[in-house]
Structure 1
Amino acid sequence: MSSTTVQNLVKEHPDAITAGICAVLVFCGWLSLNLGWLGLSLLILPFAYVIGGYASARDGLTTLFQEKDLDVDLLMIVAALGAAILGLWQQKYSYIIDGAVLILIFAISGALESYAMQRTERSIRALMSLTPDTARRLLNGLEQIIPVAQLQIGDQILVKPGELVPTDGKVVKGYSTLNQASITGESLPVEKTVGDEVFAGTLNGNGALILTIHQPPESNLIQRVIRLVEQAQTETPPSQQFIERFERGYAKVIVIIGLLFGTLPPFLLGWTWADTIYKTLIFLVVASPCALMAAIMPTLLSGIANGARQGILFKNGTQLEKIGQVKAIAFDKTGTLTTGKLEVMQMMALNQDEAELLRVAAALESLSEHPIGEAIVQTARQHKLQWKQAEQVQAQIGKGITGVLDGKRAMVGKATFIQDQIHLDETFFQYSQQWEKEGKTIVWVAYGDKLLGIIAIADTVRPTAAKAIVHLKQLGISTIAMLTGDNEQTAHSIAYSLGINRIYAGLLPEDKAQVIRQLQKQYTTVAMVGDGINDAPALATASVSIAMGTTGSDVVLETADIVLMADRLEKLEYAIRLGRRSQRIVKQNIIFALGFIVLLLIANFTGNITLPLGVLGHEGSTVLVTLSGLRLLRNEQT
C-alpha cells in the first residue's frame, strides 16, 4: 500500500483509524495483564486512553471552558479516568481495562456514527460531481474547450450525444432527449428542442444540442441545489434545538446525581467505597443522553438526501418536519395546477373548414407577440399549414388584430370587435357562451365580409394534477384550495375538473396572503404551492411554502421552503409521506433512547452490570438510533 493511499485512508476515515489503533492497544494491554506482565500492561494502556479518548477529551474540555457547559464527551472521559484511578487505588487492574474498553467502545461508536453520517451526505456530495469542468464553446464557427467558469451570458456551447450538460442553457439548435433523473428525479428521458431550457448535470441522449447561456454558470440549478442542501445541513430544526437545550441541563443534573450517588450509599446502604465509586462511574455512562442526541438530526438529514434524489429540495430539516404536519394545502392556479401555456382547445368553422380558419388567424397572429396568438400559430404549425404574410397589420390592445390578406380584410379578436364590421351567426354565439362557461377564451375570426369561425383557447391543466389531488385526499388532507387572480368562471371550471371544491378567485397578491392567514386560523399548518412573483406574499405567509422549480421565478425559489425540481405535483404526496415517516422515526428513536437509558439505570441499581457492559449498552443504543434514522434513505413505497 503506497503512502498516498494510506494518507487518503487516514484523511477519509480518521475516526475508524483511531478506533482501530485503540483496539489493538487495548487488546495488547489486556493480553499482557492476563499473562502476568503487569508493567507492560500499565505501559500500553495509557496510550490506549490517550489515542482513543483525545478527541472526546478535547471536545468536552472545550465545551466546559469556552461555553461553561457540560457534555457527554466529558462524562465519558471522567468515567474512564475514574475507573483507571479506582483500579490503581484498589489494585483491581481489571478496572483499568474496563476504562480502556469504555474509551474503545466510545471511539468505535464515534466511528460508526461518522460512517452513518457520511452515507447521508454521500448523496449530496454526489451532486457536486455531476457537472463537467469544461464546455465546448462555439466561437466564429470554431469549437473551443474552455473551463465552465469562463462561460459568459450569450455564449453558445455544443453538447454532443452522451455528454453531460455543463451548465444551464436554452436550446437554439438541435433535438434530443435528456436524462434528468439526477436533478429532477424523473425516471424517463425528457424531449428537448429549440426554445427549451436544459439543466447542468443532465445527460444528453442521441442528438447534438447547441445551447445559449442565459445565466452565469454559478447560478445554474444544480449549484443552487448544492448551496441550499449544504445550508439545510448546517441549520438546526426546533426539535433538535430543544434536545440540545435539554442535553445541557440534563448533563448538569447527571453530575449532581452522580456526586450524591458517589458519596451517600456507604453511609445509607453500607456499600464499600470501591463499589460505590464503580457504580457511580457506570451511572455516569449509562445515564448520558448520547442516543437521545442522535435521535433527530441523522433522521432529518437522511430525509433531505432522500428528497433530493426524488427531485424534492427541502431547504432545512424544519420543513421536512412541518410538511408531515400539514392539514390543508392551497394551490396557485396558473403555472401550478395548469402549465401556464395557452393552447387551442376547440374550433368551430364555417362549412367545417378548420384549415382555412387556422390559416387566416395564423397569418395575422404570426406578427403578434400575444400568448393567444402564439397558441394559434403553434396549432397551425402542428397542422402543417402554410400561409402568406398579412399586410397592414394593426393590433388594438384588448380587442383584436386586423390586416390585409390577398387583398381582403382579415380580423381576429373579441366578438364585440368583429361584430362592428360583419354579422355574427347566433349559432356561434351559443357555442361561444358554452365554452366561456368552461373557462375558455374565445377568439372570433373573419375574412372579407364573412365570419370564418371561432377558436377556443385555454391554459391546460397539468396532466398529473388531478391524480395528485386524489392522492393528497387519500393521505387525509381533505382541505385543498385553489387561489387565483382569474375570474370566477374560469377558476370554477379548472377546480371542478381537478376535484377542488374550495375556490378563491379574483385575488391580488396580498389577497392570497390573507386567505392563507384565514386557513391557518382554522387548520394551523397550511402549505402553499406556487410559481409566480404574485405568489411570493402567500408563500412567505404559509407554514410550508412549496415552489415549482422549473417554472418558478427566482423570487419564489428564494422564498419557498421546498422546491419541486421537475414541477411534478405528484411528488408533493411523496414529500408529505417522507415528512410523516421522519416524524414517526424521530418519535421511535426518542422513545427507544429514553427507554434504554431507564433500563440501564435499573440494571445498574439492581443488578451487577459491569462498566464495559454499561458502555456497550449505552453506545450500542446510540448506534442503533443513528442507523434507525438512516432508514429514511430508503425510498418510500407508495
Structure 2
Amino acid sequence: MADKCCSSNSHNDNDKQIEESCCESNQNVNDEQIDKSCCESNQNVNDEQIGKSCCSSTSSTTSTLKTTNNSNNSSCSEESRQTSISLEDISANHSNSNQIELVHCQMSYRIFGMDCAACAKTIEKGLVTLPDIRTVQVNFSTAKMQVRADNSEALLPIERTVKKLGFKAEPILQNNHLKTYDVGGMDCSSCAKSIEKHLMSIPTVSNVNVNFSTGKMKVEHDGTSDEIISEVSKIGFKATLVENKSSNTKQKQSKTENNVIIFSGVLIVLGFIGSYTALPEWLINLFYGIALIISGYKPVRSAFYAVKSRALDMNVLMSGAAIGAMVIGEWLEGATVVWLFAIGTYLQTKSIERTRDSISNLMDLAPPKAWVKVGTAIEKKPVEEIILGQIIVIKPGEKIPLDGEILMGESSINQAPITGESIPVDKQIGDIVYAGTINEHGTLEVKVTKLVADTTIAKIIHLVEEAQEKKAPTEAFVDKFASIYTPIVFISALALIIIPPILGFGTAGEWFYKGLELLVVACPCALVISTPVAIVSAIGNAAKNGVLIKGGTFLEIAGKIDAVAFDKTGTLTEGKPTVSDVQVEEIAEVEFLSLALTLEEYSTHPIAKAITNYVVDHNIEKKIGTDFKNIVGKGVQAKIGDTIYYAGNVKLFEELGVSLNKLIQRIHEMQDHGKTVVIIGTEKEILGLVSVSDMIRSSTVSTLNLVMQQGVNQTVMLTGDNDGAAKMIAAEANVGRYFANLLPEDKVNAIQRLQNEGYTVAMVGDGINDAPALATAHLGIAMGGAGTDTAMETADIVLMADNLDKLPHTIKLSKKALMIIKQNIIFSIIIKVIALMLIFPGWLTLWLAVLSDTGAALIVILNSLRLLKTK
C-alpha cells in the first residue's frame, strides 16, 4: 500500500486536496490501513480527513473532533446504556472544550447508493476505525445502518465519512411527538372519523390517524398523553398509550359496561311490568328515564362532541332518536333504543377485539427477557437491553427471544409461529434461529444478529399492522358510499318530520315518529363494517399460518387470480443441484469419483458442491492434486500425479481436441432431461460423465393440484432451461404451460402475455431475482420470507416457509374472504331496504329499527369471524 501513496510535497491540509485520491481507484484497504492518514507522519488531518485510507503505514492521524457542552443532551446520559439520539443532541455547539463522558450512544441511518453486499462491508470498515465508534452494522437488504459509539461527538463525522466512501447516510430520527394509542369502544369506522375530527380541533394536535380495523390511533401532538386520553374519553372511547397498555384496566372497563347494561335492562323490565300493574305512570316513566340516562349518557356525550366537530356518526343518529322519543312521550321506546344500542355496541366491540387479538397474539410470541452469557455465568436481561453480538442461552422448551446464529449446540426448532410449518426443523452450529420460535430440546448458545425491533417476528407484526391499515378497494368504495348515504338519509328524516305535516298529510306526531325511525335506519354501521372486519380476520389468519398478506387490496386480488406463474429454480424445484447419473468409461467408478472429488473440491460452484457432496457421501477419498486452475465458463483442471485432468463442459473438451463422438448422443439426452453434464477426462481421452440436476420438490405436484382445485385455470412455469429440459420438468411437476430459454426480462414478457390473454396473474418467485416479473404480475408472491428481508419488503404476499405448501391455503382464504365480504354487503343492504320499506306502512317501531341496525352489524361481524377459523 505504501508504494501507492503520494509524497509529502503533494499533500496539503485543505479539504479540496484531501478529497482527491492518492491511490489507485481499485485499491482496497484493510482495517489497519484505514487508521492511517494520506499524509506523512509530520502532518495532521481533521475529522474530514478520517476515512481516506490510502496512505502509507508511516503516517498518522490526529483527530481534532471538538466536544459539546450541551446540557440538554439527555439522549446519551450516563444513566442510559443504549439510547437513540436526535440531531439536537449532536448539534454544532463546539465553542467549549469541556469533555462530557457519554456512554454507548446509538444512532440509526438510512443508507443510499449501495448496490451489493460488498458496499455494506466497505461502509462498515470505513466507519469502525473512527474514534470512539464501538460497532457498525450495515444491512444491505434494508439499507439501514446501526452505529454504536462511546459518546455523541463520535457520531459527528459519520455522514461526511459515508459520503467520502461514495454513499449517502441520513439519520433515522424518532418523532418524539408522534405517539400510538390503543382505542377501545369503536364498533365502526364512523367512530374513528369522529375521534379524528374531535382531536384535530385541539390546538396542540397537528395530525391524527385512527384506524378502526386495528384499533390503533397515531397522534402527533405537543401536549401530554393524558390530555389526549382525556379528550378521547370525552367522546365516549377509551385510549391507552401502547407502552402503558394494561389488561386489568381493559377488564375493569368491560365489567363496568356489563353492569350498566344489566342495570338498565332491569329498570326497563320493571317499567314494562309496572305498566300492567297498579304502579303510577310517573314511577314507570322514572324507571325508563333512569335507564335512558344510564345507557344513553355515553352515546349522547359522544354525539355532542361529534356535532361540535361537524361529524355525523351513529351516536348522533341514535341520540337524536332517543331524545325525540322522550319529546313525544315514548319513554319505553327511547329507553329500549339506547339499551339495545348499548348491547349491540358492546357485542360488536367484543367481537371485533377477537379479530385484533389475532395480531396481538403474535406480539406475545417472543419472550420479553433472555438469558445472556456474561463470562462463565448467565444473567437474565430484558431483550431491549441486549446488543448485537452478545451471546444468549436458550434452554430446552424455551422460546427464542431474538434472531441469531447458533454458536454451540444442536436442537429441533418449532418454527410454526414464523413459517406456519408444524414439523420442527433441525438446527446446528451456523444455522439461523428466529425470535418467537421454540427450542424443542438441547441447550443452545446463540449470537444475536438482530435487535429486538429488527427481528423477523417484529417485521411480521409491523407488516401485518400496516396491511390492516390499508383499505381495500371494496372497503374504500363502501366508506365513500356510506359518507354520501348517511347525510342524505339524515336530511330526508328531517324533511319527513317537517314537510308532510305542513302539507296536511297526517299528524305532526305521526311523521315525527317516522322521521325518528328513518334517523335510526340512516346509520350504515353494518354496511361500513362489512369489509374491514373480514379483511382483518383473513390477514390475521394468514399471519398465524406463516403467510404475510400486505393489505386488503392484495387479499382481494388473490381471491380473483385464475393463472399462476412459477419460477422454476428454487420454487418448483429444490434449488439445490444433486448428482443424478454417473457414467464411467474404461476406469473403475471409485477411481473416477476420486478424481472428480479432487478436481471439484476447490470450486465454489453449486454443481461442483453437488459432486463433492455426492462423493463424500459414498466415503471415497480424494487424491493428491496440484496446480489447480479455474477455466472461466468451461471448467477446472488439476495435476494429479504426472497427468493433468480436466472437469468441465462440452466446449472445454472440444477446445482440447478430445473426441466426444461416442458420448455426444448420451450428453444431449441428459441435457434434454434438464440435467447439467460434467465431463471428466484428460487431453487424450474421456474418463466419464457426471450429470447434475435440480430435483422437483416433493410437495410441488400435490400443491399445484390443490391450487387448481381453488379455481386457478392456468399454471405456468418460467425457466431459463432449454425447451427439451423445460418440457420434461413441466410434465413432472404437472404444470399446464411453460416458457423456456428465458432471461429475467423475458419473464416479464411472459407475464404480460398471460395478462393480454385475459388472465389475472400471480407470479411466485424468490422475491429478488424475479423482482421485475413479480412487479409486473397482478400479484407478486415471494416464498422463503423467513430467510430474506428483501422478500418481505418487495412482494405483495410472502410465504414465510421455503416451500409452496401455504399457497393453496392463501388462495382459498382470499376467495372465502371475498365471498364473505359480498355476503356482508348484500345482507346489510337488504336489511336497510326492508327497514325503509316498513317505515311508511307504520310497521316499523323505533326499537325494531335499532335492533335491525345493531343486529345486522353483529351478524356481519360474526360472519367475518369465520375467517379466523379457516384451516
For residues 615 and 257 of structure 1, the distance between their equivalents in structure 2, rounded to whole angstroms, comes to 18
For residues 58 and 350 of structure 1, the distance between their equivalents in structure 2, rounded to whole angstroms, comes to 92
1:20 to 259, 276, 295: 259
Partner of residue 270, structure 2:
31
Per-residue deviation, residues 314-362 of structure 1 (Å, max 9, x unmatched): 1112211110111222222222222222222221224684433333222
2:755 to 492, 505, 520: 520
Change (3 A) 1:551 1:622: closer
1:396 to 628, 631, 641: 631
Shift of 1:448: 9.6
Which protein has greater RCO, CA pairs closer than 8 Å, 6+ apart? 1
Change (3 A) 1:485 1:239: same
Change (3 A) 1:54 1:15: farther
Partner of residue 110, structure 1:
345
1:84 to 314, 326, 329: 326
1:162 to 381, 397, 416: 397
2:611 equivalent to 1:369? no
* SS, match of residue 688 in structure 2: strand
CA contact under 8 A between 2:299 and 2:316: conserved in structure 1?
yes
Partner of residue 232, structure 2:
none
Point out the structure with the larger helix share: 1
* SS, match of residue 458 in structure 2: helix
Partner of residue 631, structure 1:
866
Per-residue deviation, residues 237-293 of structure 1 (Å, max 9, x unmatched): 111111111111111111122123213444667533223222321222134222111
After TM superposition, the score normalised by the length of structure 2 is 0.66
Per-residue deviation, residues 68-93 of structure 1 (Å, max 9, x unmatched): 44232211111011111221xxxxxx
Per-residue deviation, residues 145-192 of structure 1 (Å, max 9, x unmatched): 444334444444443322222222344544322222222221222222
* SS, match of residue 533 in structure 1: coil
Partner of residue 469, structure 1:
704
**One-letter amino acid of the structure 2 residue matched with residue 318 of structure 1:** T
For residues 427 and 628 of structure 2, the distance between their equivalents in structure 1, rounded to whole angstroms, comes to 33
Change (3 A) 1:506 1:155: farther
For residues 45 and 10 of structure 1, the distance between their equivalents in structure 2, rounded to whole angstroms, comes to 30
Partner of residue 295, structure 2:
52
For residues 142 and 361 of structure 1, the distance between their equivalents in structure 2, rounded to whole angstroms, comes to 48
Correspondence list, 1:586-601, <5 A = 586-601=821-836
Per-residue deviation, residues 368-418 of structure 1 (Å, max 9, x unmatched): 222122112222232233335533322122121222345553332223324
Please say which of residues 446-455 and 595-604 is displaced more in the overlay.
446-455
Please say which of residues 55-64 and 577-586 is displaced more in the overlay.
55-64
Please say which of residues 494-503 and 122-131 is displaced more in the overlay.
494-503
Please say which of residues 457-466 and 120-129 is displaced more in the overlay.
457-466
**One-letter amino acid of the structure 1 residue matched with residue 299 of structure 2:** S
Partner of residue 715, structure 2:
480
2:854 equivalent to 1:612? no
For residues 453 and 536 of structure 1, the distance between their equivalents in structure 2, rounded to whole angstroms, comes to 39
Change (3 A) 1:357 1:541: same
CA contact under 8 A between 1:531 and 1:553: conserved in structure 2?
no
* SS, match of residue 870 in structure 2: coil
User: Percent of counterpart pairs with the same letter?
Assistant: 37
* SS, match of residue 806 in structure 2: helix
CA contact under 8 A between 2:636 and 2:647: conserved in structure 1?
yes
Q: CA RMSD in A?
A: 2.9
Count of residue pairs brought into register by the alignment: 622
2:664 equivalent to 1:429? yes
Q: Unaligned stretches of 5+ in structure 2?
A: 1-245
Partner of residue 90, structure 1:
none
Correspondence list, 1:408-427, <5 A = 408-418=643-653, 423=658, 426-427=661-662
2:773 equivalent to 1:538? yes
For residues 796 and 746 of structure 2, the distance between their equivalents in structure 1, rounded to whole angstroms, comes to 21
For residues 370 and 579 of structure 2, the distance between their equivalents in structure 1, rounded to whole angstroms, comes to 39
For residues 453 and 293 of structure 2, the distance between their equivalents in structure 1, rounded to whole angstroms, comes to 45
Change (3 A) 1:366 1:54: farther
Please say which of residues 100-109 and 140-149 is displaced more in the overlay.
140-149
2:317 to 75, 89, 93: 75
CA contact under 8 A between 1:240 and 1:296: conserved in structure 2?
yes
2:506 to 271, 286, 309: 271
**One-letter amino acid of the structure 2 residue matched with residue 79 of structure 1:** A
CA contact under 8 A between 1:22 and 1:48: conserved in structure 2?
no
**One-letter amino acid of the structure 1 residue matched with residue 561 of structure 2:** V
* SS, match of residue 402 in structure 1: strand
1:529 to 755, 764, 776: 764
1:559 to 794, 798, 804: 794
For residues 192 and 218 of structure 1, the distance between their equivalents in structure 2, rounded to whole angstroms, comes to 24
CA contact under 8 A between 2:485 and 2:522: conserved in structure 1?
no
* SS, match of residue 523 in structure 1: coil
Change (3 A) 1:247 1:60: farther
Please say which of residues 296-305 and 517-526 is displaced more in the overlay.
517-526
Shift of 1:451: 3.8
Per-residue deviation, residues 488-547 of structure 1 (Å, max 9, x unmatched): 444333323223343333444444334333332332522111114232222222221111
For residues 572 and 215 of structure 1, the distance between their equivalents in structure 2, rounded to whole angstroms, comes to 28
CA contact under 8 A between 1:438 and 1:489: conserved in structure 2?
yes
Shift of 1:36: 3.8
After TM superposition, the score normalised by the length of structure 1 is 0.89
1:497 to 732, 740, 744: 732
